[in-house]
Amino acid sequence: MKLRSKDLISAADLEKREVKAILEEAEHMLGTVRKGRQLKMLKGKILATLFFEPSTRTRLSFESAMTRLGGSVIGFSGTEGTSVRKGETLQDTVRNVENYADGIAMRHPLEGSARLAAQSVKIPVINGGDGANQHPTQALLDLFTIKQEKDLRNTRVALCGDLKYGRTVHSLMYLLPMFGTEISIVSPEVLGMPEHIMDEVEGRYGTRPEKQASLKEAVKWADVLYVTRIQRERFPDPNEYERVAGSYVVDSRLLSGAKKDMVILHPLPRVDEIKPEVDSTPYAKYFDQTFYGVVVRMALLNMLMGGGRHG
Amino acid sequence: MVRRIEKGTVLDHLPAGSALSIMNLLKLEDNLVVVAVNVLSSRYGTKDMIKIEGKLLSKAESDKIGLIAPNATINIIRGGRVMSKGRASPPEEIKGILRCPNKKCITNFEQCETKFIRTGDKYKCVFCESHFSVRDFELQPS
Ligand SMILES: [Zn+2]
């Protein structure tokens, strides 16, 4: 199946049937990768990875996905030595790249950059993160990971940590309720979920995600605990950070209150919000996400750059 | 208000005190304009009115008035008669005339047309996806 748009810019643009199709395609990709089959659907096609802001993991994941589909990759990471440093506009950069490549995966520090790039070229553009706005492929791989572990319907997902600037939790707010997944949120007051997202989710799905009083309460409630990083520089008052950050750390003592089959996800990189002692518990699924990220991106690349057919 | 006009626009039911900013917004330098402020109104207590000779408002201009004065009445006058009487309403979509208040929005760095879509009482930038209320925007003259 082809997506309605030529691009993937924001989770808010996706309809449920499109998300379902992406998850199904990713499931198929997972099967072929596990069998060790080399695919050829994108043979002869070139993906340009334009990382105006460096990100090792997301870029490698796109490159791995493209290579596994038989395609090849060109691109840059960081703007050092590129025409961007000489003042070239984003619109001119992507119009040039359009002559070298059949698709673009990009990350850019400014919000709305992927949308602007997409309207400047005819080839597909995939948003790999635009400032604090959206990171739809991360949200889709989170969704895929939850689906591998749980039935999406009637599962309770607690989003915790930095819900104000965390772009993947914004995307998840749109995607999870499509499948009847229950969401609740817990965060320091200054890093709360933006009201306009709460309003939009309530308008679309008729329910407003509940706030949990503390991380401890959220752990008791949840089937899936989605942890995000709380960054010191997000706090206007450093004392506030010192006061608050400690109560958002996941360790084995906290997990004693959890359901036995609860799983913990994290968009990585993590710093100290999940203690290393948790890594060896059955709760920890955050490293599996990295693997699922490749198959989800394979699905998206095939749907946007290929015929969307299995080869 | 003063004398009848052959061709032009009369803006009525403007919020009291808004006349000057609307005049600035519409760049009415070359037109004959008659303004009344703090006029007693049965509907709103007090209101402002603006009569502009020789000028028929464009869609973009009525959209701007809809933003600041959502209950304004716009009377278009041709041949000395009121040809159409419309209520200014908050536009569904605003293209090009506003800058995005989000400092990290790409539209503040590149040459491109901004676009905002109404969602309830707010406007969403289609680029950075941030939501703003009308008072967040700095309105620019056309
Ligand atoms: Zn914007």
Active-site amino acid positions of A: 57-58, 86, 107, 135
Contact A295, A145 (CB under 8 A): no
Please give the ipTM for the structure prediction.
Answer: 0.89
Q: Which of A21-30, A257-266, B17-26 has the lowest mean pLDDT?
A: B17-26
Task: Give mean pLDDT, residues A108-113.
Answer: 96
What integer pLDDT is reported at residue A116 of this predicted model? 98
Residue appearing with tokens 């059955």: A282
Quick one: closest CA in B to A92, which residue?
B110
Q: Which tokens sit at A99?
A: 């002559």
Q: Which of A78-82, A220-224, A280-284 has the lowest mean pLDDT?
A: A78-82
What integer pLDDT is reported at residue B139 of this predicted model? 66
Query: Do residue B105 and residue A110 have CB atoms under 8 angstroms apart?
Result: yes
Mean pLDDT over all residues of chain B?
87
Please report, rounded to a whole number, the percentage of residues in chain B having pLDDT higher than 90.
39
Query: Which range is most confident: A136-145, B54-63, B88-97?
Result: A136-145
CATH (residue range A11-133+292-304) = 3.40.50.1370
Q: How far is B106 from chain A (nearest CA, A)?
A: 5
The closest CB to that of A116, out of B110, B122, B130, belongs to B110
Number of residue pairs across A and B with CB atoms under 8 Å?
A: 59
Q: Which of A80-89, A149-158, B122-131 has the lowest mean pLDDT?
A: A80-89
What integer pLDDT is reported at residue A308 of this predicted model? 55
Q: What confidence tier does B2 reach under pLDDT thresholds 50, 70, 90?
A: low
What integer pLDDT is reported at residue A309 of this predicted model? 54
Q: Which of the listed CATH numbers 2.40.50.1070, 3.40.50.300, 3.40.50.150, 3.40.50.1370 matches domain A136-290? A: 3.40.50.1370
Q: Strand, coil or helix: what is A141?
A: helix
Given a cut of 60, whether residue B141 has pLDDT beyond it is: no
What integer pLDDT is reported at residue A73 of this predicted model? 98
How far does residue B128's CA lie from ligand 1's centre (Å)? 4
Contact A141, A286 (CB under 8 A): no
Given a cut of 90, whether residue A159 has pLDDT beyond it is: yes
pTM score: 0.86
Q: What are the Cα distances from residue A257, in Å, to A47, A248, A249, A278, B16? A: 46, 15, 14, 14, 60
What integer pLDDT is reported at residue A59 of this predicted model? 96
What integer pLDDT is reported at residue B48 of this predicted model? 93
Given a cut of 60, whether residue B36 has pLDDT beyond it is: yes
Given a cut of 70, whether residue A267 has pLDDT beyond it is: yes
Query: Do residue A116 and residue B129 have CB atoms under 8 angstroms apart?
Result: no
Contacts of A111 in chain B (CB under 8 A): 102, 104-106, 127-130
Q: What confidence tier does A85 reach under pLDDT thresholds 50, 70, 90?
A: confident
Task: Give mean pLDDT, residues A154-171.
Answer: 92
Q: Which tokens sit at A145?
A: 């990971």
Task: Give mean pLDDT, residues A44-68.
Answer: 95
Query: Which residue did the predictor score with more confidence, B30 or A181?
Result: A181
Given a cut of 50, whether residue A311 has pLDDT beyond it is: no
Contacts of A132 in chain B (CB under 8 A): 104
Mean pLDDT over all residues of chain A?
93
Q: Report the residue count for chain B.
A: 142
Nearest partner of A150 among A283, A256, A267, A31, judged by Cα: A283
**CATH 3.40.50.1370 domain range(s) in chain A:** 11-133+292-304, 136-290
What integer pLDDT is reported at residue A196 of this predicted model? 83
What integer pLDDT is reported at residue B60 of this predicted model? 78
B→A interface, C-beta within 8 Å: 100, 102, 104-107, 109-112, 119-120, 122, 124-131
From the candidates A79, A90, A115, which should be mutated to test the interface with B, based on the most B CB atoms within 10 A? A115
Instruction: Name all contacts of A258-264 with Cβ < 8 Å and 24+ positions apart.
Output: A258/A219, A258/A220, A258/A222, A258/A225, A258/A283, A259/A222, A259/A223, A261/A223, A262/A219, A262/A222, A262/A223, A262/A224, A262/A225, A263/A146, A263/A149, A263/A150, A263/A223, A263/A224, A263/A225, A264/A224, A264/A225, A264/A227
Q: What digits encode the pLDDT tens for the residues A233-242?
A: 878 788 888 8
The closest CB to that of B129, out of A91, A109, A134, belongs to A134
Task: Give mean pLDDT, residues A263-286.
Answer: 93
Residue appearing with tokens 């005339």: B97
Nearest partner of B28 among B52, B56, B4, B61, judged by Cα: B52
Q: How many CA atoms lie within 13 A of A15 on its CB side?
A: 6
